[in-house]
Structure 1
Amino acid sequence: MVVALVLAAASLAFVLLQRHQLESSLRDVARQQASDVAAQVSREGTQVDLVGGGGDQALVQVIDATGTVVAASASVSGEPPVVDLAPAPGEVITVSGARLPIGEGEGFVVVAEGVDSADGPMVVLAAQSLETVQESTSIVGRLLLLGSPLVLLAVALTMYWLTGRALAPVEAIRRRVATIDGTSTLSARVPVPPGGDEIARLAETMNSMLSRLQSAGDAQRRFVGDASHELRSPLSTIRAAHEIQALHPESADWTTMSDEVLSELDRVDRLVADLLLLARSDEHGLTLHLTDVDLDDLVHAEATRLRRRDGLHVVVTAPPVRVQGDEHHLARALRNLTDNALRHAVSRVELTLSTHGNLARIGVTDDGPGIPEGERERVFERFVRLDHSRARDSGGTGLGLPIARQIAHAHGGELRCDQARSGGSYFVLTIPLTHHGERQDLA
């Protein structure tokens, strides 16, 4: 419809422009003819000879001051003045579309020019028929009326073909995406058309999105499987203890059994709490209650707790350092790091606190077997199991390090793992002294 409207407007403009140009040409012819006859009248007066002047589609008249035609072309010989125009000598008047007593009722362009002669002032009339203009305009209009639908049809077919060809890759992408059900076919990828245009970039973006969805789906399935496994282990222990008590009540050690069941329930409670924290963090981010926190107090408190374990040497270097953060979450992150060190240390754990520019740095070092360089980033994934030397004992949930990193990121910091000089593991928690992130909940 847009092309049809454009064609109609262009056709109309073309017809009008052509008519205007033809009329302008005839007007110039009539003006030139009137000028030539006026020059003869100025020299010869009423003796000017107009025999053969004008032609079938034109006329010339010379009119004296009394309104009498003193000379005329053959087509209007003996006729009165064809128009009532009386310009002064040297003045030119032009009239378009005048109806004259010759021809078949078509319009004329009439030029009247006043002139001084030996016989007094006179008026020269020269007229050109607009019949050729009307015929030309009519022919062009009919051609456009017949040709425009053909042109419109050709444009429509061409646009339909080009649009279909251009959108064929989009349809291929749509068909491929329609086959992806979100479970087993997330590994499928949409075809990328050649050319590097917008559609190709769209396909590349969709493939990137599908890769992220596949990774997220795989991670979710691993997370659910690992969480199920972690929950199954303490529940199986509790069930076994109760089944033994039911089968052999006379030989059951109630104190040992109660301690074992309570320990497993504590493990379930910690696991559920960790899962809820990670779920809330993934969905909305951690909510921080920002206050001034003395990190050295947190470090010394953890050192005091670690020293309660027999055979463990705890070294602390913690000058006063104050940051703006969430005390509860920072304490939890530090607790997770020290618990990890406690499980894998042989005899020594070292806690250090320092500042570097606008960052506070907490280091937790153990003298355990250490973590291979290729595995140091994997320990921050949820439920990741390394080799037997780093396997979790019954007290671990496999979520402590991921939670600690999540807390560090919420404070605008970072948590990384390195190799200690002693060969053990060295975890470094860095957070800004002043929190620059969005404060979701300011205490």
Structure 2
Amino acid sequence: MSTVVRRRKDGWYRTAGGLRQASVRSRSTAAAVIVVAVAMMLGAAALLLLLQRALITEVSDAADGRVGDIARQVSAKGTAGLATDLGETTRPGQLIQVLDPSGRVVAASSTRVDTTPLTDLRPPADALLRSQVGEMPLIDDDHSFLIVAQGAAYDGRTYTVVVASSVETQRQTVVTVAKYLAIGFPALLIVVGVAGWLMVGQALRPVERIRGRVQRIGTRDLTERVPVPQTRDEIARLAVTMNEMLDRLETGQATQRAFVADASHELRSPLATLTAALEVIEADTTGQAWHELRQVMETETDRMRQLVEDLLLLAKADDTGIRMRQVDVDLDDLVAAEIQRLRSSAPDLTVTGDVHPVRVVGDPARLSQVLRNLVDNAARAAHGTVHLTTAEQNGSAIITVSDDGDGIPEQDRQRVFERFVRLDTSRSRTSGGSGLGLSIAREITRAHNGTITLTSSPTGGTTATVTLPN
């Protein structure tokens, strides 16, 4: 059975399947420790290498100087009295031999090396040769001496001066430094880990406060907001973004509640009418009430059906968008048909038109619905005249529907596109619709990549302008 993701102490989490995954704090601290450890290892390796080379160079320079001095002495005076001088002047850590041309030791700085040559090197006069000891790593080297040999000519014979310098002291120096580094590294890494843990925890503390506040915010009350740090960094911007999201959620929730309340109100009126009519019909034993109320019930039923269809259309627009057919549509034909319909249904209105051929690609049924909603709104608002036009301008198709009514205040021209918004507060069905017509018209127009705007008409009413790509 998989475990639910839960927060644990010390920055660890248990995930599905029982696997453990480090928190951001743990991962950040571990990353800091790993980076510092790698940097320290590279630095230590470079330090030991440079130290090793410096010590080897020092020993080599000393051996070169010493072998040169003795070679010059042999070239000038020969080997007479040289053994005594070597024993008195040779510093600790060095072994010196002077070999004759046959390889026999004729002078030495110590009785330890007065019989067997230290090396097979036999350089010519004034030439310098070295063994390979100094070129190998000291830490893993089994050799203990750096050997330098130089030739010296005297009385027609070539002698070999050999200086063997001990590198044991240098080796121990490198080993000692490596031990100190090995002891200091763990302590330093612990300090880095603790400091990183505390610093990351301090940096993430505002995030934890934000998380805790968001966790406490429920769907019943979206008025709370997360605290915004004063640091003006990424976390502060995250808090601002979270508050903006909560603002949108609160606005969406309020809109949804208002939508549900308005929809309920819109459905309550025809349902109440139908219920009352059924009660009257049931109480009437003559059957006369059915004939009198039949038309009323059909009207209310049609209104409920239209309201439900409008709500479903808007729900589709919010969810996946309104699906549109893509065929050629003659807008002038649609406008001419609406002019004829309005003249028949509202004979008390003067309906005029200025219709020019305009064709677009779209859904003829949906575009007809847009036009009908605008015309019905204009007919309800008009005092006596409704005017419709079609035109083509700058590559776009333009439809206008104007009335000579009281007009819409400028501050309300965007609000009327919201759902269930009617500027008449009486909610009378005889003077206004459900408040969904303009919302539906805007959604359908957007689905056709067009726009719809409201402006004042020359006659003092309102002009609705639909712009569609041609």
Correspondence 1:283 to 2:319: yes
The residue number in structure 1 matching 2:179 is 142
- Distance across 1 between alignment mates of 2:336 and 2:296: 31
**Amino acid of the residue matched to residue 385 of structure 1?**
R
The answer on whether the counterparts of 1:55 and 1:75 sit within 8 Å (CA) in structure 2 is no
**Amino acid of the residue matched to residue 148 of structure 2?**
V
Superposed structure 1 runs of 4+ greater than 6 Å apart = none
Query: Counterparts in 2 of 1:183-332, with a 5 A limit?
Result: 183-250=219-286, 252-308=288-344, 309-332=346-369
The residue number in structure 2 matching 1:73 is 109
The residue number in structure 1 matching 2:62 is 29
The answer on whether the counterparts of 1:53 and 1:74 sit within 8 Å (CA) in structure 2 is no
The residue number in structure 2 matching 1:179 is 216
**Amino acid of the residue matched to residue 210 of structure 2?**
I
**Amino acid of the residue matched to residue 15 of structure 1?**
L
**1:64–1:173 distance in 2 versus 1, CA, 3 Å:** same
- Distance across 2 between alignment mates of 1:423 and 1:256: 41
- Distance across 1 between alignment mates of 2:432 and 2:45: 88
- Distance across 2 between alignment mates of 1:396 and 1:384: 10
- Distance across 2 between alignment mates of 1:69 and 1:185: 103
**Amino acid of the residue matched to residue 301 of structure 2?**
L
**Amino acid of the residue matched to residue 301 of structure 1?**
A
The residue number in structure 2 matching 1:102 is none
- Distance across 2 between alignment mates of 1:78 and 1:395: 127
**1:77–1:414 distance in 2 versus 1, CA, 3 Å:** closer
- Distance across 2 between alignment mates of 1:392 and 1:79: 130
Per-residue CA deviations over 1:306-336 (Å, capped at 9, x if unaligned) read 0012211001001111112221111111011
The answer on whether the counterparts of 2:133 and 2:143 sit within 8 Å (CA) in structure 1 is no
The answer on whether the counterparts of 1:88 and 1:115 sit within 8 Å (CA) in structure 2 is yes
Correspondence 1:344 to 2:381: yes
Match of 1:45 among 62, 78, 81: 78
TM superposition shift of 1:286: 1.6
Q: Which moved more, 1:154-163 or 1:190-199?
A: 190-199
**Amino acid of the residue matched to residue 307 of structure 2?**
L
Q: Which moved more, 1:47-56 or 1:293-302?
A: 47-56
The residue number in structure 1 matching 2:52 is 19
- Distance across 2 between alignment mates of 1:257 and 1:395: 23
Correspondence 1:374 to 2:411: yes
TM superposition shift of 1:401: 0.4
TM-score (norm 1): 0.90
SS of aligned partner of 1:46: coil
The residue number in structure 1 matching 2:449 is 412
The residue number in structure 1 matching 2:129 is 92
- Distance across 2 between alignment mates of 1:330 and 1:28: 98
Query: Counterparts in 2 of 1:85-124, with a 5 A limit?
Result: 85-89=121-125, 90-96=127-133, 107-124=144-161
Q: Which moved more, 1:406-415 or 1:244-253?
A: 244-253
**1:392–1:384 distance in 2 versus 1, CA, 3 Å:** farther
- Distance across 1 between alignment mates of 2:342 and 2:198: 76
Q: Which runs of 5+ in 1 are unaligned?
A: 99-104, 434-443
TM superposition shift of 1:221: 1.2
- Distance across 2 between alignment mates of 1:300 and 1:311: 18
The answer on whether the counterparts of 1:53 and 1:59 sit within 8 Å (CA) in structure 2 is no
**Amino acid of the residue matched to residue 199 of structure 2?**
L
**1:108–1:96 distance in 2 versus 1, CA, 3 Å:** same
- Distance across 1 between alignment mates of 2:298 and 2:104: 135
**1:170–1:215 distance in 2 versus 1, CA, 3 Å:** same
SS of aligned partner of 2:444: helix
TM superposition shift of 1:350: 0.5
Q: Which moved more, 1:190-199 or 1:267-276?
A: 190-199
TM superposition shift of 1:46: 2.4
The residue number in structure 2 matching 1:436 is none
Correspondence 1:398 to 2:426: no
TM superposition shift of 1:197: 1.7
TM superposition shift of 1:13: 4.1
**1:378–1:393 distance in 2 versus 1, CA, 3 Å:** farther
Q: Which moved more, 1:2-11 or 1:305-314?
A: 2-11
- Distance across 2 between alignment mates of 1:393 and 1:355: 36
Identity of matched residues, %: 44
The answer on whether the counterparts of 2:380 and 2:431 sit within 8 Å (CA) in structure 1 is no
SS of aligned partner of 2:88: coil
SS of aligned partner of 1:52: helix
Per-residue CA deviations over 1:148-180 (Å, capped at 9, x if unaligned) read 121111111110111111111111111111112
Q: Which moved more, 1:110-119 or 1:350-359?
A: 110-119
The answer on whether the counterparts of 1:192 and 1:203 sit within 8 Å (CA) in structure 2 is yes
**Amino acid of the residue matched to residue 265 of structure 1?**
T
Per-residue CA deviations over 1:15-52 (Å, capped at 9, x if unaligned) read 34322321222122212222222222233332454342
Q: Which moved more, 1:57-66 or 1:82-91?
A: 82-91
TM superposition shift of 1:75: 6.5
